[in-house]
Amino acid sequence: MLKFFRILLAVISFAAVTILFLDTTGYAASHWAWMARIQFVPALLALNVAVLVGLLLVTLLVGRVYCSVICPLGIWQDAANRVGTALSGKRKRRAGRFGFRRQALRWRTGFLTVFAVLFVAGVFTALPLWLASAMDPYGIFGRSVTAWRWMPAMTGSATGIVVIFVVAATFITVTLMAFTRGRDYCNKVCPVGTLLGLVSRHAVLRPVIDTDKCNGCGQCARHCKASCIDPKAHAIDLSRCVVCMDCIEVCTQKAISFGPKRTKAPAPVADKPADEGRRAFLTGGAVLGAGLAFDVLAKTDGGLAPLKCKKASHSAGPLVPTGAQGVRHLTSACTTCQLCITHCPNGVLHPSTRLEGLMQPEMSFNDGWCRTDCTVCGDVCPTEAIASLTVAEKSSIKIGTAVVDLNTCISAHDGVHCGSCARHCPAGAIDMVPVREGSDRLRPLVDVNACIGCGSCEYHCPVGRVASLPGDTAAIHVEAIDVHRFI
């Protein structure tokens, strides 16, 4: 019954997180965005003490259930392992595919140390945090599941191609490790698994072997995906056990139960570190399939003017979302899970190809603008790299300033009355004024104190879009500011 409930919770959890990443309607984001906030690394970055304490207390009570019930990459590995078992043949399935292996302590402590150093350096120095997030299981899963959305934006540069290769290689490697060797990634590489393992070895409730009933058949060890059961010593390495309950199910002698530690030693081997544990999986299929959303590029403007694809303007500095406070804060808090990019309803956010902010969200206004009534990115961000804002707060935060290129502006340069940027400015920061005193030609004049940098002017500028007009980029674009401020 315990295993059934664990699997049920894992399936629900995996489906919810996967849909949260894939859903583009906004329904999932408005109903269960909290599922991303209870992931360990996002909670650590957001300094969400309540979540962190809760996860540690649960681990101290029942062991590493986080890895098999909450972590989407852990559940995915269980599914991959399940497929590997199903394809291994009837005899192999019955006998079991695994066996006891001593813990790879050097690997575990090494990866945890590297992660800790990169994490601290990314938060408190200029070192990019994405170096640490490359080992974050939640981030790995998020980047992999949303690849269909962000991958096209990365194919235009050599850096982007490298990123695509690394993300794909990481996900495939983790999947193959699970397919062939069970929870090897979790118990050798994953820093979250290692950290929780330090706590789970002292779990109050744990799998316990009754030596009076055990006949030493080793069936439990051969079915343990974490390879953490030593049948000869009747010991379970709890630091690696994910409380999957598989060992309890396969034991024909009913010698393994889940409960408190026994008062007397279960075996004569006293000096051996009786790390108990085992862990693993199951969780059926939960399809990663999802609808392939694609953008349809209009060919004409109302059937009149042929259109072309506008190229993005380049700001001197990266434009980051409202709520990010500025580039430095975003770089030190973003785990590059791609949740904000996936849920951006306006098509404004794209993964960065800058080395210092690789895969972190940046804004581009060639396909849309950042609507002042939209706060989705902050609402779904699990690390508070992008803060959740009210509409009123967002409307009064300045992230950049619109700059006009008079050489390509059709109103100022060609004398064509346009004014599209002024008409569409939600802040009322643009006025059309004479190019010079007495002139009939009008030019956009930006009030730098009122402009918030939403990009509506850049998006609605016909230059760069209308085929009959020269230039590939808009005649007005937003220049980023390093630190956002209220106006």
pLDDT one-digit tens code per residue, 50-100: 999 999 999 999 999 999 999 999 999 999 999 998 888 787 777 888 989
Residue with tokens 């690849």: 147
Q: What is the spatial distance between Cα 331 and Cα 152, in angstroms, rounded to a whole number? A: 22
CA 319 to chain centre: 20
CA 447 to chain centre: 37
pLDDT for 279 equals: 38
Which domains does the chain carry? 2-260 (no CATH), 300-486 (3.30.70.20)
pLDDT for 299 equals: 34
Contact 475, 461 (CB under 8 A): yes
- Token pair recorded at residue 194: 């290692």
pLDDT for 467 equals: 66
Contact 52, 43 (CB under 8 A): yes
Other CB atoms within 10 Å distance of the CB of residue 258: 16
Instruction: Give 89-130 pLDDT, tens digit per residue.
Output: 787 777 888 989 998 899 999 999 999 999 988 888 767 788
pLDDT for 294 equals: 30
pLDDT in tens, the chain (487 residues): 788 899 999 999 999 999 999 988 889 998 899 999 999 999 999 989 999 999 999 999 999 999 999 999 999 999 999 999 888 878 777 788 898 999 889 999 999 999 999 998 888 876 778 888 889 999 999 999 999 888 888 888 888 899 899 999 999 999 999 999 999 999 999 999 999 999 999 999 999 999 889 888 888 999 999 999 998 888 999 999 999 999 998 888 889 999 887 655 444 444 444 343 433 333 333 332 333 233 333 333 444 456 666 777 777 788 999 999 999 999 989 999 999 999 999 989 999 988 888 899 999 998 899 999 999 999 999 999 999 999 999 999 999 999 999 989 999 888 888 999 999 999 999 999 998 888 888 999 999 999 999 999 999 999 888 766 777 889 999 999 999 999 8
Closest CA to 358 of 118, 166, 115, 159: 159
pLDDT for 438 equals: 80
CA 81 to chain centre: 23
pLDDT for 350 equals: 92
Strands 305-306 and 300-301: antiparallel
pLDDT for 126 equals: 67
pLDDT for 273 equals: 44
Three-state SS for 2-36 is HHHHHHHHHHHHHHHHHHHHHCCCCHHHHHHCHHH
Distances (CA, A) of 285 to 7, 81, 149: 11, 11, 22
Distances (CA, A) of 421 to 100, 181, 477: 68, 59, 10
Q: What is the spatial distance between Cα 327 and Cα 176, in angstroms, rounded to a whole number? A: 36
Closest CA to 250 of 273, 282, 272, 284: 282
Distances (CA, A) of 220 to 165, 210, 254, 342: 38, 13, 11, 42
